[in-house]
Amino acid sequence: MDLNKEEIIEKLNSGEIRLHEIEKITEDANIATDIRRQFIEEKTNTELKHIGSYSIDMTDAAKKNIENQIGTIQVPVGVVGPVLINSEDGETLEGYVPMATTEGALLASVNRGCSVIRRSNGCSISIINNQMTRAPVLKCKNVHEANKLKTWIEENFINIKEVAESTTNHGKLIKIDPVAIVGHFVYPRFVYETGDSMGMNMVTIATQEAINYIEKENDLHVIALSSNFCVDKKPAALNMIEGRGKSIIAEVTVPKEVVEKILKTTPEAVVEVNYAKNLVGSAIAGSYGYNAHFANMVAAVFLACGQDPAHVVEGSIGITTAENVDGDLYFSVTIPDLPVATVGGGTRLETATESLNIMNVKGSGNVCKFASFVASIVLAGELSLVGALAAGHLARAHQQLGR
């Protein structure tokens, strides 16, 4: 069908063409984007000149990242740092980290935390777990059959692993655990290593193949490939305990004089605020996040670096600890559930590539390094905010920055 822009819009208005069909006519995602945006402008009497101003190529984005695209949004991007990291393998990392946000004072606060970390000879990072999960729900005839299925899955893990891994060159099925039973429903939690990819698509395809095999060998009914026992894009105690994505800890020991000079408070005051706010305050709220604002830093780095924004809800859970150690301040953040990637997904977008390149973490072999940068920024943001609260400076900082 050889139609110009005006003819396509006319057929959109008449209902002869649907919005998602424009690419089939133009065979060019960038032209299709412009036509769709013009149609929406006319339909809603709205000017979209800023949404329509962008530099990325919609060709790949339309194939992998979005449908019915009309342009892009713009979120201010800044940098913090440099942040100094002592990794577990003995390597010292130092670099600037991009953050995209509309919250004034956030980067100023995180940057102060980075300064504290540098003056404390860096922070230490350990990645204690690295896994991605998918958990289907299977229905048996009765609870006895459900229990038999649980045993069968445990006894046939090697065969299931072989079937699952036949779908991928990078994913490795580590375990199927826990296998929960509720009534006659069975919930096996498939746990994978996924390399430098965040891996949700990878583990979904692998688990589907494994479930096909399990169903063929057993008398059961597959209710759904995802049962919410994964747990994907939701806060959950299971992910706090078992971990998902990267489970990572960042710590720093801040000399007393640095606490007093930069944070304008004392180690004792920081410890008390952390206990009363992050631990007790979170407990009485029934929160899964015993922290001040993990989500702020995770969201800002995720937006800048092409990560899945929905996984911020998982990255927001975790625990902040603070102790007085011989007069100095020991401060740590434990992030049990940080799904990140340096290949695939939104990392292929041009702006995300540039942001990842700032940290030199784009591409294969870099996901743990990237996770370490994210954790260090979470640590910096937590340290700065709790310090500001201890010093009574939070409101003043926002006032001074016109927020």
Separation between Cα atoms, residue 120 and residue 65, nearest integer Å: 41
Angle of helix 200-217 relative to helix 157-165, nearest 10 degrees, comes to 130
Separation between Cα atoms, residue 316 and residue 291, nearest integer Å: 8
Q: Are 268 and 74 in contact (CB under 8 A)?
A: no
Q: Look at residues 18, 34, 25 and name the one whose alpha carbon lies nearest to residue 2.
A: 25
In this prediction, residue 321 carries a pLDDT of 98
pLDDT in tens, the chain (403 residues): 578 899 999 999 999 999 999 999 999 999 999 999 999 999 999 999 999 999 999 999 999 999 999 999 999 999 999 999 998 888 899 999 999 999 999 999 999 999 999 999 999 999 999 999 999 999 999 999 999 999 999 999 999 999 999 999 888 999 999 999 999 999 999 999 998 888 888 999 999 999 999 999 999 999 999 999 999 999 999 999 999 999 999 999 999 999 999 999 999 999 999 999 999 999 999 998 999 999 999 999 999 999 999 999 999 999 999 999 999 999 999 999 999 999 999 999 999 999 999 999 999 999 999 999 999 999 999 999 999 999 987 545 455 555 5
In the three-class reduction of DSSP (H, G, I as helix; E, B as strand; rest coil), residue 260 is classed as helix
183: left (phi over 0), alpha (psi -120 to 50) or beta: left
Instruction: Give me the number of domains the chain comprises.
Output: 3
- What radius of gyration, in Å, describes the C-alpha atoms of the chain? 24
Whether 118 and 255 share a structural domain: yes
Q: Are 341 and 197 in contact (CB under 8 A)?
A: yes
> Which residues, 6+ apart, have CB-to-CB distance to 212 below 8 Å?
163
Domain of 369: which CATH number? Answer: 3.90.770.10
**Which two three-digit tokens encode residue 363?**
């591409």
In the three-class reduction of DSSP (H, G, I as helix; E, B as strand; rest coil), residue 264 is classed as coil
Measured from the Cβ of residue 164, the count of other Cβ atoms closer than 10 Å reads: 25
Whether 314 and 371 share a structural domain: yes
Whether 195 and 255 share a structural domain: no
Measured from the Cβ of residue 367, the count of other Cβ atoms closer than 10 Å reads: 25
In the three-class reduction of DSSP (H, G, I as helix; E, B as strand; rest coil), residue 172 is classed as strand
Domain of 188: which CATH number? Answer: 3.30.70.420
249: left (phi over 0), alpha (psi -120 to 50) or beta: beta
Residue the block writes with tokens 């530099």: 55
Whether 143 and 119 share a structural domain: no
In this prediction, residue 396 carries a pLDDT of 57
Which domain-ending residue is among 167, 192, 224? 224
Strand-pairing partners, residue 84, are 94
Whether 283 and 252 share a structural domain: yes
Q: Which residues are known catalytic residues?
A: 103, 308, 398
Separation between Cα atoms, residue 18 and residue 23, nearest integer Å: 10
In this prediction, residue 196 carries a pLDDT of 84
In this prediction, residue 269 carries a pLDDT of 97
The boundaries of the domain holding residue 300 are: 77-130+244-400
In this prediction, residue 43 carries a pLDDT of 94
- Going by their DSSP bridges, the two strands 328-338 and 289-290 should be labelled as unpaired
In this prediction, residue 29 carries a pLDDT of 95
The number of residues in the chain equals 403
The reply to whether 69 falls in a domain is no
Whether 123 and 145 share a structural domain: no
Separation between Cα atoms, residue 144 and residue 132, nearest integer Å: 30
Whether 87 and 123 share a structural domain: yes
> Which residues, 6+ apart, have CB-to-CB distance to 107 below 8 Å?
78, 79, 80, 99, 101, 300
Angle of helix 350-358 relative to helix 294-304, nearest 10 degrees, comes to 120
In this prediction, residue 394 carries a pLDDT of 58
The reply to whether 318 falls in a domain is yes
In this prediction, residue 169 carries a pLDDT of 87
In this prediction, residue 400 carries a pLDDT of 57
Q: Are 293 and 389 in contact (CB under 8 A)?
A: no
Whether 89 and 126 share a structural domain: yes
Q: Give this prediction's pTM.
A: 0.93
